[in-house]
Amino acid sequence: MDDIRKRGYSGNILHLRLSTLDYEIIPTEKYVEWSGGNALGTALFWDYCEDKTIQDGRNEKNVLVITTSPLNGTAAPSAGGRCEIVGVGCGTYPIGWFTRSNIGGRLSSQIKFAGYDAVVISGKAPYPVWVEVKNSHIRYNDARKLWGEKARKTQLKILSQLDTDNNGWGWQPLPGKKDEASYTTQKPAIICVGPAGEQQSVHAALVHDAGNTSAQGGFAAVFGSKNLKAISFLGTGGVKATNPMDLVDARFKVKERYAFNPNNPDLYQWGRLSKPGGSNFVSSVTQNSRLQSCAGCIMGCRSRYDVGYGNETKCQATAWYAFFALYYYKNDRQKMSEVALKLADYCNDVGINTYTFATSIHWLERLWHKGILGKNKKIHTELNFDELGSEKFGFEFVDAFAYKKDIGEFFADGFVQGAIKAGLEDEWKQGYLHHPYWGIQEHGYDSRCEVEWGYASILTDRDINSHDFNIMFWNVNLSMLHGTPYRIEAGKIVELMAEKLKPYVDSPNCLNYADDNIYSDDVLNLVRWYIHYNRFWKNTAQFCDLRWADLYDTNAPGNVGATADEEVGEQVYWNAVTGEDISFVDGLKKGHKTFIFQNAIWALQGRHRDMVYLADYIYEKPVEKGDFPFFLWPTKDENGSWRYTDLMHRKLDREKFDDFKTRFYKAEGLDPQTGWPTEKTLKELGLDFVIDELKKHNKLGKEV
Amino acid sequence: MTKEEAKHILRELDFDDWYMAGVMFPPKTVTKKRMRKLEDLTIFLEPNEKMFPSVQLKDLVEWIENKIGDKQLAKTLKDINNNTALSYLQKCIEFHKTVTSRCKNLKEIAGENYV
């Protein structure tokens, strides 16, 4: 065994060449400097995608990379089960950026157990295929009979096909073994598309098991465009840590310091790591359920139910239709839960992104009542929005998008794209369609109040979807909602958090969300930390967003969070597994490097700073009523006193954000005139190999 | 109050006057639903352990006063909202009781079979 396999890596990268239905094995050693996950995926994309100017992920030249982290398959807390996917996506406006997504479950651990750290997918298969990976055995299978199947049946049929001895017990024969006893009880982990992915709708989601999906980025449409129905991974190997006892010690320490008492959980706990596990958003239809989690997770954020539906569903999937159903069924909460969970199940089965519906369905309802959407109207539909809330309408609505028919066909490339096509661009610009960044839906947190979310989303490539600071919003606002005392006062919480952000910030003023501070250098540096933290610790090392970053935590002495802690911080697990000796800040620097690398790809794709702006309504209209009762964030007054302040009714200043952008580019080492990476920055970060390609396309930034 | 006045308050409004209300599923998300008429609030404001009303109560009172046209109810709700001893959720519970009771009375005035 060589060194790399003792450091959390499996040693190989699998390159699936779909056009010729063959593959190659690349030694991970060549790429180990990229650590894993997002960074590794970016490097592989750079090397294997010959044309980096493509603007839509469904282009045959696109290369998709599924990547793992050294921490996947280990006991690192809530980092063992995530899996990163990168490539050129589709659905963002005006360009389908090189982007990322993430999926949980057992996928990344099975990929590693099979012997791989990443899977590069290039070309386009001549006909629909699914790929079987059993350790070193790789095989392309004809998927024409699977084409059209939903995710559940696709996985069942593949499992059935893999079970070649038809023993029916789910025991998988190991390839190359003649001995009848050579079976594994491992269950393959399958990632697949349903009908929506086959239709190449940008709203499609990749699906693994029952409720793990990868939706942002539109990578399921990329699968569909490549005639790729599914990949099944089955591995019998393991993951070796360099210093396993360091990993175990840190796990015990983090448990002692942060774990909640299951017999007496603190329901008003503040922080992330020690938050009790949860389930779906709507009331359960049954009490008979148990929590379910991704591989190696300390939480359990989903459930399995005895009713046979809603299994492993979570988050927006269970919430987006629930309240419509509650009204339609006249306050029958049992029926609401049943409809919401069944529909969540169905969305996962057809492989569709429910986040895309969360804001858009209200807009479509508006168009219906305005006479713009309807039978033989400007946008034709056979759907009857007067039945919005019924089980029947819910399924018909999802079907339209899954099978790209009716309005699902009209909006198949995105809602903003559809609005423009229909001459309804003003509906977006005026904020009736809440899509603030890159033409995609707001996550639920308005950029005019929660500025770091909006800034980081528009300065990268998609909805940042990272709740590092957002948790403070929930903790504070729920306290206000319940009328309970704040567990941590504003002046203290900003000190605790700012301490974690050093050396990027030098004062808690970075968390001053007052109108006169949201364009300051302090906030700018917080945003830089936010992006760099995500690019490395979350997207590359793959710490789960539901637990990390832990910037404060009321379960721990002094309310100090686990992030960056010398004994239980992210870097402790990384070092224990990889044998490296990096600091938490070293990880942030790696995140910076990856971010600049990705800026180079975006430049090649056609990005210029002039297109980096939030939707017009963010600058022109104050936050509308109805989203939240209040939007409390810490602010500092002229006397230096901190308090939680309601930021409702705020809008952003276009010129001030533009100036913020200029300073951000300078701080990152990007050309402020264009936003493109400069030669000096690329050389300093060890990205010299990018320079020639940028020069060739006249996309190299001028020195600051 | 006359039968016609009661029916007027209970009527479904035109689309432009519907009230967009947030529904909070803590601690993760907020979804929305348009309120078409006063009685919609009896469902929206009902206490529930997994989802909470997510609106600015002052705006909601203004909607009742100006769009629904029930100034008497708006006055009562305004007083509840101004009670600084109550938390937001306690106010929602009081709003729910008050609106539910008001709708029941209005329906009685409007006629037994009023829907």
Contacts of A627 in chain B (CB under 8 A): 22, 30, 32, 54
d(CA B14, CA A68): 53
Closest residue on chain B to A627 (Cα):
B22
Domain for residue B35, yes or no? yes
Q: CA end-to-end span of chain B, whole Å?
A: 18
Query: How far is B89 from chain A, CA to nearest CA, in Å?
Result: 6
| The pLDDT of residue A2 | 57
Domain for residue B17, yes or no? yes
Which residues face A311 on adjacent strands?
none
d(CA A205, CA A149): 14
DSSP one-letter string for chain B: --HHHHHHHHSPPPGGG-EEEEEEETTTEEEEEEE-STTHHHHHTS--SS-EEES-HHHHHHHIIIII--HHHHHHHHHHHT-TTS-HHHHHHHHHHHHHHHHHHHHHHH-TT--
Give how far the C-alpha of residue A668 lies from the chain's centroid of Cα atoms, to the nearest Å.
23
A602-633 pLDDT, tens digit each: 999 999 999 999 999 999 999 876 578 888 99
Query: How far is A65 from chain B, CA to nearest CA, in Å?
Result: 29
| The pLDDT of residue A560 | 97
The three-state secondary structure class of A316 is helix
Mutate to test the interface with A, among B33, B37, B59 (most CBs of A within 10 A): B33
State yes or no: pLDDT of A279 exceeds 90.
Answer: no
* Domain housing B100: 3-109
Query: How far is A10 from chain B, CA to nearest CA, in Å?
Result: 35
Contacts of A625 in chain B (CB under 8 A): 20, 55-56, 59
d(CA B110, CA B93): 25
- Compare CB distances from B43 to A331, A366, A481 and report the shortest one's residue: A331
A190 sits in which H/E element: strand A189-192
Angle at Cα A302 formed by Cα A299 and Cα A305, nearest 5°?
130
| The pLDDT of residue A292 | 87
Tell me which residues of chain B, numbers 56 to 75, contact chain A at a CB-CB cutoff of 8 Å. 56-57, 59
State yes or no: pLDDT of A22 exceeds 60.
Answer: yes
C-alpha distance from residue A417 to each of A357, A409, A435, A583, A672 (Å): 15, 12, 11, 44, 29
d(CA A474, CA A480): 10
Contacts of B49 in chain A (CB under 8 A): 283
Classify residue B59 as exposed, middle or buried by CB count within 10 Å of its CB (0-12, 13-18, 19+): middle
Q: What is the CA radius of gyration of chain A?
A: 24
Q: Do A628 and B89 touch (CB under 8 A)?
A: no
Q: Residue A669 is encoded by which pair of tokens?
A: 């080492």
Domain for residue B101, yes or no? yes
Number of domains comprising chain B: 1
Contacts of B56 in chain A (CB under 8 A): 625-626, 629-630, 648
A318-365 pLDDT, tens digit each: 889 999 999 999 999 999 999 999 999 999 999 999 999 988 999 999
A13 sits in which H/E element: strand A12-17
> Cβ of B111 under 8 Å from any chain A Cβ?
no
Contacts of A629 in chain B (CB under 8 A): 22, 53-57, 88
d(CA A588, CA A529): 7
Q: pLDDT above 70 covers what percent of chain A?
A: 96
Contacts of B43 in chain A (CB under 8 A): 326-327, 331
> Cβ of A656 under 8 Å from any chain B Cβ?
no
C-alpha distance from residue A75 to each of A13, A70, A240, A570, A573 (Å): 23, 11, 11, 13, 9
Closest residue on chain B to A270 (Cα):
B27
CB atoms within 10 A of CB A658: 14
Q: Residue A684 is encoded by which pair of tokens?
A: 């300093």
Classify residue B66 as exposed, middle or buried by CB count within 10 Å of its CB (0-12, 13-18, 19+): exposed
Eight-state DSSP code of residue A210 = T
Mutate to test the interface with B, among A284, A318, A323 (most CBs of B within 10 A): A323
CB atoms within 10 A of CB A520: 17
| CA-CA-CA-CA dihedral for A389, A392, A397, A399, to nearest 10 | 150
Q: What is the CA radius of gyration of chain B?
A: 14
CB A644 within 8 A of CB A632: yes
d(CA A681, CA A594): 12
Residue, of A465 and A175, whose pLDDT is higher: A465
| The pLDDT of residue A1 | 46
Q: Do A326 and B54 touch (CB under 8 A)?
A: no
Beta strand A302-305 pairing with A289-292: antiparallel
> Cβ of B112 under 8 Å from any chain A Cβ?
no
Domain for residue B32, yes or no? yes
Q: pLDDT above 90 covers what percent of chain A?
A: 84
Q: Do B56 and A315 touch (CB under 8 A)?
A: no
CB B52 within 8 A of CB B87: no
Residue, of B81 and A170, whose pLDDT is higher: B81
Average pLDDT, chain A: 94
Provide φ and ψ at A474, rounded to 5°: -65, -45
Domains of chain A plus CATH, in order, are: 3-234 (3.60.9.10), 302-424 (no CATH), 451-696 (1.10.599.10)
Sign of the CA dihedral A283, B20, A440, A459? negative
Q: Is the peptide bond before A173 cis (omega within 30 degrees of 0)?
A: no
d(CA A300, CA A280): 11
d(CA A400, CA B22): 26
Q: Residue A510 is encoded by which pair of tokens?
A: 């970075």
Q: Do A627 and B33 touch (CB under 8 A)?
A: no
A104-126 pLDDT, tens digit each: 999 999 999 999 999 999 999 99
Query: How sure is the predictor about A281, in pLDDT bands with cuts at 50, 70 and 90?
Result: low
Closest residue on chain B to A318 (Cα):
B25
> Cβ of B19 under 8 Å from any chain A Cβ?
yes
| Residue at A61: amino acid letter | K
Q: Which residues contact A532 (CB under 8 A, 6 or more apart)?
A: A504, A588, A589, A591, A592, A595
Closest residue on chain A to B41 (Cα):
A327
Sign of the CA dihedral A662, A668, A674, A678? positive
Provide φ and ψ at A229, rounded to 5°: -85, -40
Q: pLDDT means per 10 residues in chain B (115 residues)?
A: 94 96 82 94 88 92 98 98 96 97 95 68
Domain for residue B114, yes or no? no
Q: Do B28 and A281 touch (CB under 8 A)?
A: yes
Q: What is the ipTM of this complex?
A: 0.95
| The pLDDT of residue A408 | 97
Closest residue on chain B to A631 (Cα):
B56
Query: How far is A130 from chain B, CA to nearest CA, in Å?
Result: 35
Closest CA to A283 of B85, B83, B25: B25
Q: Which residues contact A3 (CB under 8 A, 6 or more apart)?
A: none
Domain for residue B115, yes or no? no
Beta strand A206-208 pairing with A189-192: antiparallel
Closest CA to A537 of A491, A589, A577: A589
The three-state secondary structure class of A27 is strand
> Cβ of B4 under 8 Å from any chain A Cβ?
no
Using the structure block, give the residue that is written with the tokens 């490549």: A226
Q: Do A319 and B31 touch (CB under 8 A)?
A: yes
Which residues face A120 on adjacent strands?
A15, A65
- Compare CB distances from A628 to B30, B49, B86 and report the shortest one's residue: B30
Domain for residue B14, yes or no? yes
Using the structure block, give the residue that is written with the tokens 């038809």: A166
| Residue at A469: amino acid letter | F
**Residue A700 backbone zone (phi > 0: left; psi -120 to 50: alpha; other: beta):** beta
| The pLDDT of residue A169 | 62
| The pLDDT of residue A280 | 63
d(CA B91, CA B56): 11
- Compare CB distances from B31 to A283, A323, A365 and report the shortest one's residue: A323
- Compare CB distances from B40 to A281, A327, A627 and report the shortest one's residue: A327
Query: How far is B3 from chain A, CA to nearest CA, in Å?
Result: 25
Q: Do A365 and B57 touch (CB under 8 A)?
A: no
d(CA A216, CA A437): 13
- Compare CB distances from A481 to B32, B48, B88 and report the shortest one's residue: B88
Sign of the CA dihedral A527, A528, A531, A534? negative
| The pLDDT of residue B103 | 97
| Residue at B36: amino acid letter | R
Domain for residue B56, yes or no? yes
> Cβ of A629 under 8 Å from any chain B Cβ?
yes
- Compare CB distances from A481 to B21, B31, B52 and report the shortest one's residue: B52
CB A163 within 8 A of CB A170: yes
